[in-house]
Chains A and B, each alone.
Chain A
């Protein structure tokens, strides 16, 4: 109940912040909001683009969510996407032109997942063996991934006189939806929905999921009850990386048809934001992914009237407000337990 109220409070405050920023620019908030809607859900193309962007956000979001369940902030998602995209692009380009879809799709999906999972190993091992904070190692791995992808492309993986890998064979490209003409929406959305639902099932209905929750609640208590905390941490980060890696399906196989630098930049962060918004819920994650997908596509449609960066500012404010909302909401509740001075040293 408390969480629902605090989300509502955050939503109201975010809308106020949005209106103030738009008014300060000298535009009318309602008409900007209408234009944002018209540019996204108003046309088939816009809706398709929203779905395309939401697909990556949902995959990055479920990657962040499963790690959060074990109390881990997986910030390395962006690096996993970059490395997976490069692996899919580079290996996919070597497949024969005549390869059937039923072979190419699962093969490349497997490669994407493995590449993403492997890229988290340093973070997982550092966290499990040395207690090094996964936030720091995640940020470092993102930066190293960016440099690695750039290096690999320059030193041979890129097609001659270009900055991207050779195009994938036809059979490796994912089908787009003809009902959403011109947009990049593709069948990767099915993968995203399936991934979110099955991870939700795993975390609720399996021993593995139960142990993750236990670790998230208390690492030392979990260790005392005999849970292999170190192993579970490495595993959950690898799972998170594998899920993040699936973004390569959407970006490389569904949209670009090749891999290049900068794929997935920003998606890792938006995914984390969506996961924080959604909390424990799978349905919430879909809603949050659509919300951020709508914002990022809508930004393009309002750019002529107001700088599209207002959407980044708005996302940041939403995230910050969601983070402080529980405390804010508690001020509105009737004070039940009087605070003892120094009860909680801060």
Chain B
């Protein structure tokens, strides 16, 4: 068990938690505005490819970062357009966008790099140090994720925009009656969600120094689980992201000892979500107008 009390273990937990953190913060922005969002998985994928394509095209990871953010925001802008203007069901739109992202990124992977599995390798933003702790802590992208989490927590609770987002998510008619532009606020929140969730994809791309087919690997769904378990609140979401990161890191560290099967850890977030849905936390209540127009 001593393997669990090392700095490397801490770093590994953090590494796994960061993409969950970013994606769940994105999910919170969208869902608190009343727009259900199952397209986090697709958002991670497109922004990861955006970041890699931007980097290989220009040679600058910083430009890659910006393009990655824009790709995520763009995918979610389609979601906003389809749901808020087109009258599409948010679940249908989200599922379609996940399929669109999965197919589209593989299509572009072949178009850009003539490969069906992965892109050429790219430099990330962080230094290439030997320890995981150093690469994780010195990577500016990691700090952007932390910033996004802090920004979501404070922004949702303390800013005018955050208040408006919560208002249109709880009671759009009341919000409209006091002059809050409901549609515009929702569109902005969803596009912002795309950029924030996109950070998860960018982080993955820079961490692995490449784009590989289907690299989101279900993280968008874990993030969705985190959003639900945390009761659509940012701070508990941070806690659950760290918890799931630590659990996975522990499973990797203790792999050869076969303490727990990796499938058990894999299923853990989903099982907790089911329990949470049964009213485990009374306050875990969705925004009142979630999915209603």
Do A and B bind? yes
How many Å lie between the Cα of A40 and that of B84 in the bound state? Answer: 38
Task: Determine whether B129 belongs to the interface, using a CB cutoff of 8 Å to chain A.
Answer: no
Task: Write out, one digit per residue, whether chain B residues 276-293 have a CB within 8 A of any chain A CB (1) or not (0).
Answer: 011100000010000001
Task: Determine whether B225 belongs to the interface, using a CB cutoff of 8 Å to chain A.
Answer: yes
Task: Determine whether A150 belongs to the interface, using a CB cutoff of 8 Å to chain B.
Answer: yes
Q: State whether A151 and B263 are in contact (beta carbons under 8 Å apart), knowing that A309-B106, A324-B86 are contacts in the complex.
A: yes
**Does the CB pair A147–B106 fall under 8 Å?**
no
**Does the CB pair B102–A346 fall under 8 Å?**
no
Q: State whether A346 and B293 are in contact (beta carbons under 8 Å apart), knowing that A148-B267, A151-B263, A316-B100 are contacts in the complex.
A: yes
- Please indicate the chain B residues that have their CB under 8 angstroms from the CB of A319 in the complex: 92, 95-96, 99
**Does the CB pair A316–B263 fall under 8 Å?**
no
How many Å lie between the Cα of A314 and that of B168 in the bound state? Answer: 33
- Please indicate the chain A residues that have their CB under 8 angstroms from the CB of B264 in the complex: 147, 151
How many Å lie between the Cα of A309 and that of B95 in the bound state? Answer: 16
Per a CB cutoff under 8 Å, which of B102, B221, B293 touches A143? B221
Task: Determine whether B110 belongs to the interface, using a CB cutoff of 8 Å to chain A.
Answer: yes
Task: Write out, one digit per residue, whether chain A residues 303-346 have a CB within 8 A of any chain B CB (1) or not (0).
Answer: 00001011111011101100110111000000000000010111
Per a CB cutoff under 8 Å, which of A147, A155, A323 touches B92? A323
- Please indicate the chain A residues that have their CB under 8 angstroms from the CB of B186 in the complex: 346
- Please indicate the chain A residues that have their CB under 8 angstroms from the CB of B277 in the complex: 126, 130, 132-133, 136-137
Q: State whether A320 and B88 are in contact (beta carbons under 8 Å apart), knowing that A136-B273, A137-B277, A307-B106 are contacts in the complex.
A: yes
Near B by CB (< 8 A), chain A positions 121-169 give 122, 126, 129-130, 132-133, 135-137, 139-141, 143-144, 147-148, 150-151, 154-155
**Does the CB pair A312–B95 fall under 8 Å?**
no
Near A by CB (< 8 A), chain B positions 82-116 give 82, 84-89, 91-93, 95-97, 99-100, 102-104, 106-107, 110-111, 116
**Does the CB pair B176–A342 fall under 8 Å?**
yes
**Does the CB pair B267–A147 fall under 8 Å?**
yes
Per a CB cutoff under 8 Å, which of A25, A129, A313, A323 touches B86? A323
Which of the listed residues A73, A143, A148 has the most CB atoms from chain B within 10 Å of its own CB?
A: A143
**Does the CB pair A317–B176 fall under 8 Å?**
no
- Please indicate the chain B residues that have their CB under 8 angstroms from the CB of A272 in the complex: 95
Q: State whether A315 and B267 are in contact (beta carbons under 8 Å apart), knowing that A139-B221, A324-B82, A327-B87 are contacts in the complex.
A: no
Q: State whether A137 and B89 are in contact (beta carbons under 8 Å apart), knowing that A269-B99, A272-B95, A342-B176 are contacts in the complex.
A: no
- Please indicate the chain A residues that have their CB under 8 angstroms from the CB of B96 in the complex: 273, 316-317, 319-320, 323
Near A by CB (< 8 A), chain B positions 36-76 give 36, 38
Report the minimum CB–CB distance from A341 to chain B (whole Å). 10
How many Å lie between the Cα of A154 and that of B99 in the bound state? Answer: 29
Near A by CB (< 8 A), chain B positions 159-183 give 172-173, 175-176, 182-183
**Does the CB pair B279–A144 fall under 8 Å?**
no
**Does the CB pair B92–A310 fall under 8 Å?**
no
Q: State whether A143 and B93 are in contact (beta carbons under 8 Å apart), knowing that A307-B106, A316-B103, A327-B87 are contacts in the complex.
A: no
Please name the residue on chain A nearest to B102 by beta carbon: A312
Per a CB cutoff under 8 Å, which of B36, B111, B228 touches A25? B111
- Please indicate the chain A residues that have their CB under 8 angstroms from the CB of B261 in the complex: 151, 154-155
**Does the CB pair B104–A313 fall under 8 Å?**
yes
**Does the CB pair A324–B278 fall under 8 Å?**
no
- Please indicate the chain B residues that have their CB under 8 angstroms from the CB of A122 in the complex: 274
Task: Determine whether A104 belongs to the interface, using a CB cutoff of 8 Å to chain B.
Answer: no
Report the minimum CB–CB distance from B48 to chain A (whole Å). 16
Task: Determine whether A276 belongs to the interface, using a CB cutoff of 8 Å to chain B.
Answer: yes
| A and B contact pairs by CB, cutoff 8 A, 25 listed | A75-B95, A129-B278, A130-B277, A135-B38, A136-B224, A140-B225, A140-B271, A141-B270, A143-B218, A144-B267, A144-B270, A307-B116, A309-B103, A309-B104, A309-B110, A316-B99, A320-B78, A320-B93, A320-B100, A323-B96, A324-B87, A328-B86, A345-B172, A345-B182, A346-B182
Given contacts A130-B277, A316-B104, A319-B99, 13 further A-B contacts (CB under 8 A): A130-B278, A132-B278, A135-B91, A137-B273, A151-B264, A273-B96, A307-B111, A309-B103, A309-B107, A312-B100, A319-B95, A320-B82, A320-B97
